[in-house]
Amino acid sequence: MPTPVWVASGQDRFAEQRGLGISVVDFKVVAQDNDGIFVLENTFHAKGGPARHLHYEQDEWFYVLEGEFIIEVGTEKFSLQPGDSLLAPRQIPHVWAHIGATRGRILITFTPAGKMEAFFREVTKANAMPPQDPMLWRAHGMELLGPPLVVA
């Protein structure tokens, strides 16, 4: 029988700490909790974001909680503010970054979860943005396509 999963504000599902250099990642919902979604909260204290990539099997949904973000999906560019959301469909190249002068917080959902939890467990060990190593990305169901967005 499934049980409710409660995670307090500002906390990680497993009470773990994960850093990406310019941000921290808190797992909120993992695939073992449900039928296959993975939800994380990414809190930024500096500008930037991941490299351009695509997911072979995951749709990625973004929901801005705080701050300003820019997201490119395919050839379209979107500016997101708190309350805005955007779906990046699987197999479509995308890249995004926090661009605000203050803290940024964004919820990101992957469906199905695939190997995304394993990817974030691996890349946060170095407390830096994920390396631009194509084999690492491929091993977790993604294709690395280019550098991160340049933000001033």
Residue 5 counted as domain residue: no
Residue 150 counted as domain residue: no
Q: What pLDDT score was predicted for residue 35?
A: 81
Q: What pLDDT score was predicted for residue 2?
A: 75
Q: What pLDDT score was predicted for residue 34?
A: 87
CATH number (domain holding residue 122): 2.60.120.10
Q: How far apart are CA 134 and CA 142, in angstroms?
A: 9
Residue 40 counted as domain residue: yes
Q: What pLDDT score was predicted for residue 65?
A: 98
Q: Mean pLDDT, 10 residues at a time, over the chain (152 residues)? A: 88 96 97 92 97 98 98 98 98 97 97 97 95 96 96 88
Residue 58 counted as domain residue: yes
Number of domains within the chain: 1
Residue 148 counted as domain residue: no
Look up the domain containing 56 and give its range: 18-141
Residue 135 counted as domain residue: yes
Q: What pLDDT score was predicted for residue 131?
A: 92
What DSSP string runs through 67-113?
S-EEEEETTEEEEE-TT-EEEE-TTS-EEEEE--SS-EEEEEEEES-
Residue 67 counted as domain residue: yes
Residue 9 counted as domain residue: no
